Amino acid sequence: MKVRILESILSANDGVATANRRLLDSRAVYCINLMASPGAGKTTFILAMARHLGGRLRMGVIEADLASRVDADKVAAAGLPVLQINTDGGCHLNAPQVTAALETMPLDDIDLLIIENVGNLVCTAGYDLGEHLKLVLASVPEGDDKPYKYPNMFGVVQAVVVTKTDLKPYIPFSSTEFAKALRGINPDAPLFELSATTGEGLDRWCEWLVKRLG
Ligand SMILES: Nc1nc2c(ncn2[C@@H]2O[C@H](COP(=O)(O)OP(=O)(O)OP(=O)(O)O)[C@@H](O)[C@H]2O)c(=O)[nH]1
Ligand SMILES: [Mg+2]
């Protein structure tokens, strides 16, 4: 019974997600569903991308948190269109919440929409929001074994970014071990390493993304 109810929730969500994707396609907006654990560096990464891509791509952001406008305020201060969703205890976004946010986003004025999902490596993986790319951000301080522990997340994404590489001198983290763990679950997703703070490695990620937008 539980399985059937979950299947029906997910299938209703998928229908709305497909409509979201169609809307985004019709307005030529490419959308990333950015997922990571709390504090991994999602907002800092978005702001670093905006600085790097400014002038080449017009970005918009949907922020999701259980409470507060902290992240939306940071993004707004950088001059980007942003909408904050508070999930009020919910551990992930769903497609209808994104539909409502899209109604107030200036879609004609943006090329790239980033959805910062709720900080969480578990339930966010299960919900299609209508994005074009599911991206997981892992950070050096979290350790190089995370793909083993969160196979659903690392298996479902089409790209992986390891951030906070500037902390490598202080924290035991092996890029080889991380790649080995990831490849056992997801052989194909491109893997990037960067520091959103120093900007090192941001180039390679941004060039890959720009090419993908075509
Ligand atoms: N050293 C270093 N610190 C970073 C980097 N990126 C983010 N941080 C720091 O990590 C902390 C969390 O960053 P946020 O960008 O707020 O992380 P988040 O994933 O958006 O956090 P939530 O939205 O609360 O889940 C902040 O203190 C950032 O300054 C990085 O590349 N290097
Ligand atoms: Mg954040």
- Ordered domains of the chain (ranges, CATH): 2-213 (3.40.50.300)
Q: Whose CA is nearest to atom 10 of ligand 1?
A: 41
Q: Are 75 and 63 in contact (CB under 8 A)?
A: yes
pLDDT of residue 107: 98
pTM of the model: 0.96
pLDDT digits (tens, 9 = 90+) for 140-158: 999 999 999 999 999 999 9
Q: Report the separation in Å between the CA atom of 42 and the middle of ligand 2, taken as the mean of its atom positions.
A: 5
Place of tokens 């990333």: 32
* pLDDT score recorded for residue 204: 98
Using the atom order of ligand 1, give the atom closest to the CA of residue 194.
31
Pairing relationship of beta strands 133-139 and 82-86 according to DSSP bridges: unpaired
pLDDT digits (tens, 9 = 90+) for 186-206: 999 999 999 999 999 999 999
What are φ and ψ of residue 96, in 5° steps? -60, -35
Q: Which one-letter amino acid corresponds to residue 19?
A: A
Residue 6: per-residue pLDDT: 74
- Residues in contact with ligand 1 by the CB-under-6-Å rule are 36, 38-44, 71, 119, 163-164, 166-167, 195-197
